[in-house]
Amino acid sequence: MLDLFFCITRLFLGDRDGETIKIDTYLQCSDGSCSCKSSCKQRSCLPNSVVTLKLYKGFYHEKYRYMDTHPQLVIASNAGITAYPSWLPSIELISEMNIPAIFTDYCEEAAFLAARCICTVTGRPLSIPIQVNPFRQPMVMEDQALYLPCYSNCFIFGM
């Protein structure tokens, strides 16, 4: 089972704060030799492939004390790390706890600034370099002041 922590600081969760979602049914991989393609018809003989999403409204550095378990991965989409100084304590904590973290940002410039901030705070280079996110939103964001290519979740990087 994979536990994830989604950083949703600027999104209104309403009654979903603290909600747990288990995903156990999804498309199988295309690798013909993978165990998901085995002749076993019962799910009980396949490896456990449940992904648990836990939704929290707020900052990781404020929420982690109240969690029963800590995530195996932190995901923060369109994080805006350099735009929001409130990220710094969470980045420090995630780094100290040695939890892998994936971030996305709208444009390449924001991703580079965020990477520089992460490297300065952690004292380490990124473990996943900045790259175009193959799962980014396929449509350009409207009203771009700087006229730079900009898509939701366009660039992905990690620590």
Above 70 in pLDDT, residue 155? yes
Above 60 in pLDDT, residue 45? no
Res 128: pLDDT: 96
Among 27-36, 63-72, 98-107, 122-131, the minimum mean pLDDT is found in: 27-36
Res 8: pLDDT: 46
Q: Burial level of 100, CB count in 10 A (0-12/13-18/19+)?
A: middle
Predicted TM-score (pTM) of the model is: 0.70
Are the C-beta atoms of 72 and 2 separated by less than 8 Å?
Answer: yes
Side-chain half-sphere exposure of 36, counting CA atoms within 13 A: 11
Per the model's pLDDT, the better-predicted residue between 42 and 107 turns out to be 107
Token pair belonging to 134: 């193959």
Residue-wise DSSP of 8-64: ESSS--GGGTT-EEEE---PPPS-TTSGGGSS--SGGGSPP--EEEEEEES-HHHHG
* Among 30, 8, 31, CA closest to 19: 8
What pLDDT digit, counting tens, does each position of 129-138 carry? 999 888 877 6
Per the model's pLDDT, the better-predicted residue between 10 and 27 turns out to be 27
Above 60 in pLDDT, residue 95? yes
- Which pLDDT band holds residue 65 (cuts at 50, 70, 90)? confident
Task: Please state, for a pLDDT cut of 90, what percent of the chain lies above it.
Answer: 29
Res 5: pLDDT: 53
Domain ranges of the chain: 2-24+44-158
**Distance, first Cα to last Cα, the chain:** 21
Per the model's pLDDT, the better-predicted residue between 104 and 18 turns out to be 104
Instruction: Give the pairing of strands 101-105 and 73-76.
Output: parallel
